Structure 1
Amino acid sequence: MRVWSVAVVAVLSLASCPAAQADSPPFVLQQPFVLGGGEQADLLGGGLTVRFAEVLEDSRCPAHVECFWTGQARITIVAQPVGLAPSRVEFNTNPAPRMTVTSARAGDYEITLQALDPYPQSPQQPIPFGDYRATLVVVRA
């Protein structure tokens, strides 16, 4: 019985340890990484935390619909360099001239949105926030 109690305490301790949680995987500069809606990641070695905060709009034309324009998706990423206040940056996939925003700065870092998945399939099937995947790349600016 005592061994069982020690094992339960050990598992609970590991589960509450930030380093043991899977919601904050590390990423590497200049390498693409994927964040799901609501997820965050830390720069390997420290210095920056990036979180996929929200989908502001997803009016992209669904794959099985004929549309008069392609639509756009707008998302917010919160980036926090060490020692600085968090920065909310908005990305926009609108393909119109001067409307697309795929790069933003946060402190000494530049964040680029490479892709936003999944692509809408039907207007009757909205995508839950947690199902979104933003492919990002971070470089030193």
Structure 2
Amino acid sequence: MDIQRFAVGLAVLAVLGAGTASSAASEHGPRPGKSPEPAAVVPPGRDFTLTVGQEAAIAGRDLAVRFTGLVSDSRCPPRMQCIWQGEAVARFVVRERAGSTTADLHTGARGGPRDARTVELVSVSQDGHQVTVRAG
């Protein structure tokens, strides 16, 4: 199991076990007691695109994913030759019935088992304002 999915799975289990919402909230987040309206409802297992602050609900699942921004970006710039391709780390708020949690997902991480709550970062735009995600 890769570290990305392990971290997301662990975070989801912590929220489910505690039954409370995470105290970590984005400055772009909703007011207390209100959940943001999803920008879109997407089918599970399909790739979808989010811009900073956008949220999507996963159809048929009690799961929503909101992209809050990049945490770091060490990717090789376009038209440059780099020894290491680098990585981008994107921060998400993952909401379920039991509450929400913040998860940092890395580019390039693949593999491991998938379940209905798996959230995977597929790609990050060059400017870092848009991500492609796969969930559920």
* TM-score normalised per structure 2: 0.61
Residue number among 47, 51, 58 corresponding to 2:66 in the alignment = 51
- Residue 86 of structure 1 aligns to a residue whose secondary structure is strand
TM-score by length of 1: 0.59
Q: CA deviation at 1:89?
A: 1.3
Answer whether contact 2:63 2:96 (CA < 8 A) is retained.
yes
| Aligned pairs for 1:20-39 within 5 A | 24-39=39-54
Aligned to 1:111, which of 88, 96, 119?
Answer: 119
Give the Cα–Cα distance (whole angstroms) in 2 for the partners of residues 85 and 63 of structure 1: 39
Q: Deviations over 1:78-113 (max 9, x none)?
A: 11012x1212111112x5xxxx3788989x511112
- The separation in 2 between residues aligned to 1:28 and 1:134, in whole angstroms, is 17
Are the aligned partners of 2:106 and 2:121 in contact in 1 as well (CA < 8 Å)? no
- Could you tell me how far apart the structure 2 residues matched to 1:26 and 1:109 are? 15
Aligned-pair RMSD on alpha carbons? 2.8
Bigger relative contact order (CA 8 A; separation at least 6): 2
| Aligned 1:94-133 pairs, distance under 5 A | 100=109, 109-117=117-125, 119=126, 127=127, 132-133=129-130
2:106 is matched with which residue? 92
Match for residue 135 of structure 2? 138
Deviation at 1:28, TM superposition (A): 1.1
**Number of matched pairs:** 100
Which 4+ stretches in 1 moved above 3 angstroms? Answer: 100-106
Can you give the 5+ residue segments of structure 1 that lack an aligned partner in the other structure?
1-20, 120-126
Residue by residue over 1:21-63, the C-alpha shift from the partner in whole angstroms, topping out at 9 and shown as x without a partner, is 7x61111112111111221111235611110012001111101
The 1-side partners of 2:83 and 2:111 are apart by: 23
